[in-house]
């Protein structure tokens, strides 16, 4: 690997990062970020509920009869 190749690689990465940041500042990019945050919140909520059910199963609470 030559120094020129290293510099060209660094330049390409910097240009890709710049293009990504520029796109993220557009309305479409902002919408993608907002949707990603919504999806992550839903994902976390799902696993929190699933984890609660698993805890109830292993603690025996899931099988207790209501009083």
Full DSSP string of 5-26: HHHHHHHHHHHHHHHHHHHHTS
27-56 pLDDT, tens digit each:
999 999 999 999 999 999 999 998 888 888
Higher-confidence residue of 64 and 4: namely 4
Q: What is the mean pLDDT of residues 13-32?
A: 97
Query: What pLDDT does residue 43 have?
Result: 97
In the chain, where are the structural domains located?
Answer: 37-62
Could you tell me the pLDDT band of residue 67, with boundaries at 50, 70 and 90?
A: low
Q: Is 29 exposed, middle or buried (0-12, 13-18, 19+ CB in 10 A)?
A: middle
């Amino acid at each position: 690997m030559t120094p020129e190749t290293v510099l060209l690689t660094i330049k390409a990465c910097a240009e890709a990062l710049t293009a990504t940041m520029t796109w993220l500042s557009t309305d479409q990019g902002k919408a993608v970020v907002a949707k990603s945050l919504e999806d992550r919140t839903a994902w976390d909520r799902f696993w929190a509920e699933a984890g609660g059910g698993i805890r109830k199963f292993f603690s025996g609470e899931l099988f207790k009869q209501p009083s």
